[in-house]
A = this chain, B = another copy of it.
Amino acid sequence: MSCRKIDAKKAAEFLKENDDFYILTHSNPDGDTVGSGYALNAVLKAMGKRSAVLCGDPIPSKLKVLESDESICFEPKTIVAVDIADERLLGSLKERFSGKIDLCIDHHGSNNEYAKMLYLEADSASCCECVFEVVKLLGARVTPKIASALYLGMATDTGCFKYSSTTPRTHRMAAELMEQGADFDGINRSFFDTKSKARLELERAVLDSVEYLYGGRCAAVTITRDMIESTGCEQTDLDSVSSLPREIEGVEVGVTIKEQQSGAYRVSLRTHEPYDASEIGKAFGGGGHKRAAGCEFKCSLSDARAALFSKIGEVLEETK
């Protein structure tokens, strides 16, 4: 199947001309996919269309403020995917929707062009920026809830405007969304300024478990099921912990290995320039961005570590 690359204007036209939308978000949902999905859904409904947001996984409680709560009582005619680089990230929705995505709106350079049409901005810090471009072209009124949804995605995908992916446009869009009534303080407080006691406990355990490799240029932490269960952490707590190893002075590649309920090991990779996290992720069937990527291992922890650390060593050696 060939994928047609389109721009924001063409994406807006397509949305205007069609109806009965299912908007798909990625499994293990984050602020950007949920914010993108919620905002687009709300705008399409305000235009008098039928629309619903779907996710293959439960929405974490922190993101629930944005979840649309109605039950879905129509069959879709148009399938849109937001912030999904690969159909595998549809998770449990994959079987039903694989090969049927009409439009994908995304910002992952690694997008593998599975949709019939793709509006991709690989330089955008968040998918919500792409969605906001489309929303503007649709001439939709940006309600405070829509503004909050879009702000949520921009803020969470940039570590609150901290990551190098942030652009002047990100800041200008944030300013606009604040003026449209985005609850930026509530969002920032919840995502960047609040640690549950469970998360605090996990952080202590993580700080105790840091290993240094390659002369301190790589730091790795391993989060076992036992640590997760004994602290009572949620998925969102685990996600935010993934940035810790890279924050240590001198560390170029930060690694967080999380034991899954399935017994597999999910790996989060965070790098500083010029080290390419997605190159490491891709070597093990994963992917992502240059500074943040991931992959999964279905072998023993020691085999996973050996393969992973050897690849990281290569990347640290090659790129200098």
Binding site for B on A (CB under 8 A): 159-164, 166-169, 171-172, 174-176, 178-179, 184-185, 188-189, 192-197, 200, 203-204, 207-208, 210, 243, 246-249, 272-273
Contacts and interface: CB of A to CB of B under 8 A. Distances in A.
Given A166-B184, A188-B163, A249 B196 contact: yes
Contacts of A195: 247-249
A171 B176 CA distance: 9
A159 B208 CA distance: 26
B248 A197 contact: yes
Residue among A161, A169, A210 with max Cβ neighbours from chain B (10 Å): A161
A207 B195 CA distance: 12
A246 B193 contact: yes
Number of copies of chain A assembled together: 2
A220 to B, nearest CB: 15
A275 to B, nearest CB: 13
A30 B176 CA distance: 29
Given A167-B178, A168-B176, A162 B248 contact: no
A243 B193 CA distance: 9
A194 B168 CA distance: 23
B247 A162 contact: no
Contacts of A162: 160, 188, 192-193
Given A160-B161, A184-B166, A207-B204, A247 B174 contact: no
B163 A168 contact: no
Contact of A172 (B159, B175, B193): B175
B175 A249 contact: no
A207 B203 CA distance: 9
